[in-house]
Structure 1
Amino acid sequence: MTKVIRVEHLSKAYHLGDFGTGTISRDLERFWAKMRGKEDPFLKIGEVNDRTTKGESDVVWSLRDINFDIEQGEVTGIIGRNGAGKSTLLKILSRVTSPTTGSVKAKGRIASLLEVGTGFHPELTGRENIYLNGAVLGMRKQEIKQKFDEIVAFSGVERYIDTPVKRYSSGMYVRLAFAVAAHLESEILIVDEVLAVGDWEFQNKCLGKMNEISKNEGRTVLLVSHNMGSILGLCTRCLLLNQGSIELSGDPQLVVQRYYQQGREVKLQQLKSNADIYLKEVFSCDARDQPTTSFSHAEEIGLSMLVGVNHFDPIQNIGIALLTKDKRRVFTVNRSLKEFYTPGEKEVRVKFMIEKELIAPMDYSFLIALNTRTGIVTYDLHEDICPIKVYDNGTDFAFAEGIDYGCIILNDKWKKMN
């Protein structure tokens, strides 16, 4: 396939505080280096854009040695924490700002939706801004006119199309801006997190439109979003940025899983007790028994437990409850220890599994109790243990990620009644 974007050794540095070097001679030296296409001689190498710590330099690298290619018709998601460099990358690709070093080569016209109001003149009406944006993309008036009715219908702001956009709400702004970017004849569409301003219905409409122009029209889409359901449901490829560098690139499912694992350490709970039975070790794990704290809705969730046995009794029991982040119980299960115990053992390892495609995307933790079957005696109890993240892999609720729509997603069955 044809490569429409090529990014090579791209870096972007920002100066904090004063912009000058302190002397006229150094300012001239910096200007001369820029004119020759050379790197700024006064940049301090190595400072990364970590907002959580105070650096020693007045220069931060928002992007550092970025390299990737994008092929025609690809829908590429760009994800990462706040401050990772996502918006800076899109601004460079959109030619809103220039890189400090490296190069970007794009084949075709680029339509961008970076933030509310970008590319719109507040004093002009919606109608005038549509023609203005089309002219910026190099389209003739007749071409814009042919698309005009379609743009207005998609945006849903027909009543206000002859009103200056400075009087629009942020939602109306985004509706019209996306409609213009998606319908005018550009080969590349770049969309930042700005779609989050719109309501659920419009977000779904936008995602459907991006999917349509990619598959049916062969246009290339770059999307920055913190809604992983949208990324997984729409994108064919994903880039994970971390402190200005690409940490992982490839299959969206794998990249999203790595994103959720950033900053979420897998903690093994090492515990000792003199009780008859006690929890010696516990960790969440995947279907291959590998420790992890992030799970797709479409994969099995495992909990591996090592139970220490000082004195075995047939009435001993393992109880497990899944808890939401506000400590509501999703379910409670019990299983007799005698099902797993072999006489003489000092410890028993068991694995509890939650079936795939059941638990709704959300943050959870576990409650684990070792007790008698009747609950009269509790040997060991641990609440709010093994925190996990279940993320959306493109369910029907992907557009509502972060909204509490229940703790399980039913494999529901319906039929028409006569």
Structure 2
Amino acid sequence: MSAILKAENISKQYRLGMVGTGTLSHDLNRIWASIRGKEDPYLKVGAVNDRSIKATEDYVWALRDINFEVKQGEVLGIIGKNGAGKTTLLKILSRVTSPTTGSIKTKGRIASLLEVGTGFHPELTGRENIFMNGAVLGMTKSEIKRKLDEIIDFSGCEMYIDTPVKRYSSGMTVRLGFAVAAHLEPEILVVDEVLAVGDAEFQKKAIGKMQDLSIGQGRTVLFVSHNMASVKSLCSRSIVLENGISVYDGATEDAINYYLSNEQEIIPEDLISIKDRSGTGIVKFQSFHIEHSNGQIIANILNGDPIKFSFKVDVSNLTNISNIDLGFSIHTPDDELITVLYNSYQNKTIQVRENGEYIIQCVIPDLSLNEGHYIVKGRIECDKVESDWPKVPLGKFNVVKGDFYRTGNLGFNGKSKLLIKGEWDLKK
């Protein structure tokens, strides 16, 4: 299938602390370079788009040398940290702003929903904004009239459709904005974080609509979100941006694993050097990490995903065959206990016959923790005698909202720490 959108060497440069291109002298230097047929001198300078460090130059590259193609009917996810350049890229693709270098080639009409209430006039009613927004997207009045009832019904704002938009909540505004953008039949739909303010019912509805656009109507969707479950359920391919640079382009599941494994620094494997610990020391924790089901070491986990807790232990001074009972507990950052598990709880026997290093793994097929930060502590008994109990955490990890219920419905779990599933039935 042919490419409907192509980005070639897209870069975007901004001047820090200034609006516009900068000073008059900079503009004159640019004009003089252009007259002589030379490159813009300020394209040779500029810092990397890393917001965590102090600025040392006047210019920064929000994006640098982005290249990709999107085929008709494809749903492309764009993920990355805040400030990675995702919204800047979508603004360039939507013609809201122009690239400093590079070019965008598209076939067909682009409809964009880059933020809540994009293109809405707060003094106009919802109905009037539908017509205005549709006209901006290039639709005729008759085309908008034909789709009007469907747009209003999808938005769920029928009661307030003749009320000025300034009185809408952020959720109502994004519902109406998404309904307009999705129903006016664009060849390419660009969506940036609109699901962040929607409730669970709207999120499911919006994802279903985007799937219908791509699969049922062969339209192309570019989707930016920090909600990895939504990206995973909707997109077949994703791009990871990091400091304005495309660092990964491939299958969505692999892209998400890449993003999550690099978003947070992995805990150092130095447990053997912990001084504050008790026990005989026959078996001691040496290192700890968490693995995805594909074997990749991660510090960020989608709830509902299968993972492995992997403990490397050091066995010394062993005199005979010993039974190891390894336990770990999960806590909140303020040390509230969430759960504990030992291999003996499940009648699982782990025996060692000689000294050396061993890896003990516990597979968790369906992580049931809600979003948040957690720490892991550990304790080992050897032949029912305490062997090692470090008084500091073995590691930490972060849980990101995933498709725990395997339905596409992300649910609303409030401040609860644990997620549960049930078998539902009706009897009379």
TM-score higher than 0.5 = yes
The partner residue of 2:378 within 335, 350, 368 is 368
Q: Which residue does 1:293 correspond to in 2?
A: 299
Q: Which residue does 1:244 correspond to in 2?
A: 244
Q: Which residue does 1:309 correspond to in 2?
A: 316
Question: Quick one: distance in 2 between partners of 1:9 and 1:31?
Answer: 23
Point out where structure 2 has 5 or more consecutive residues left out of the alignment. Answer: none
2:289 maps to 1:283:
yes
Question: Quick one: distance in 1 between partners of 2:138 and 2:89?
Answer: 24
> Are the counterparts in 2 of residues 318 and 368 from structure 1 also a CA contact under 8 Å?
no
2:355 maps to 1:346:
yes
Q: Which residue does 1:28 correspond to in 2?
A: 28
Q: Quickly say closer, same or farther: Cα 1:251–1:43, change in 2 above 3 A.
A: same
Residue type at the aligned position of 1:396: T
Q: Quickly say closer, same or farther: Cα 1:243–1:346, change in 2 above 3 A.
A: same
Q: Which residue does 1:407 correspond to in 2?
A: 418
SS in structure 2 of the partner of residue 279 of structure 1 = strand
Question: Quick one: distance in 2 between partners of 1:92 and 1:169?
Answer: 28
Q: Quickly say closer, same or farther: Cα 1:137–1:389, change in 2 above 3 A.
A: same
Q: Which residue does 1:385 correspond to in 2?
A: 394
Per-residue deviation at 1:197?
1.5
Residue type at the aligned position of 2:363: I
Moved more, 390-399 or 134-143: 390-399
Q: Quickly say closer, same or farther: Cα 1:87–1:402, change in 2 above 3 A.
A: farther
Q: Among all aligned residue pairs of Structure 1 and Structure 2, give the percentage whose two residues are the same amino acid.
A: 43
> Are the counterparts in 1 of residues 269 and 286 from structure 2 also a CA contact under 8 Å?
no
- The residue correspondences of 1:112-191 to structure 2 (distance < 5 A) are 112-191=112-191
CA shift digits 1:123-161 (9 cap, x unpaired): 222111111122122222111101000111111111222
CA shift digits 1:206-248 (9 cap, x unpaired): 1111111111111111111010000001111111000001110
Moved more, 150-159 or 33-42: 33-42
State the TM-score, normalizing by the size of structure 1. Answer: 0.88
State the TM-score, normalizing by the size of structure 2. Answer: 0.86
Residue type at the aligned position of 2:126: G
Moved more, 206-215 or 351-360: 351-360
Q: Quickly say closer, same or farther: Cα 1:207–1:218, change in 2 above 3 A.
A: same
Question: Quick one: distance in 1 between partners of 2:155 and 2:22?
Answer: 47
Per-residue deviation at 1:181?
0.4
Question: Quick one: distance in 2 between partners of 1:322 and 1:202?
Answer: 36
Point out where structure 1 has 5 or more consecutive residues left out of the alignment. Answer: none
Question: Quick one: distance in 1 between partners of 2:238 and 2:36?
Answer: 35
The partner residue of 1:318 within 304, 312, 325 is 325
Question: Quick one: distance in 2 between partners of 1:333 and 1:383?
Answer: 18
- The residue correspondences of 1:183-202 to structure 2 (distance < 5 A) are 183-202=183-202
2:265 maps to 1:264:
yes
Q: Quickly say closer, same or farther: Cα 1:156–1:288, change in 2 above 3 A.
A: closer
Residue type at the aligned position of 2:16: L
Residue type at the aligned position of 1:158: E
> Are the counterparts in 1 of residues 310 and 362 from structure 2 also a CA contact under 8 Å?
yes
SS in structure 2 of the partner of residue 260 of structure 1 = helix
Question: Quick one: distance in 1 between partners of 2:222 and 2:49?
Answer: 23
Residue type at the aligned position of 1:349: Y
> Are the counterparts in 1 of residues 79 and 239 from structure 2 also a CA contact under 8 Å?
yes
> Are the counterparts in 2 of residues 139 and 185 from structure 1 also a CA contact under 8 Å?
no
Question: Quick one: distance in 1 between partners of 2:211 and 2:358?
Answer: 46
Q: Which residue does 2:11 correspond to in 1?
A: 11
Question: Quick one: distance in 2 between partners of 1:149 and 1:193?
Answer: 25
Question: Quick one: distance in 2 between partners of 1:386 and 1:124?
Answer: 53
Number of corresponding residues: 413
Question: Quick one: distance in 1 between partners of 2:181 and 2:311?
Answer: 49
Moved more, 397-406 or 121-130: 397-406
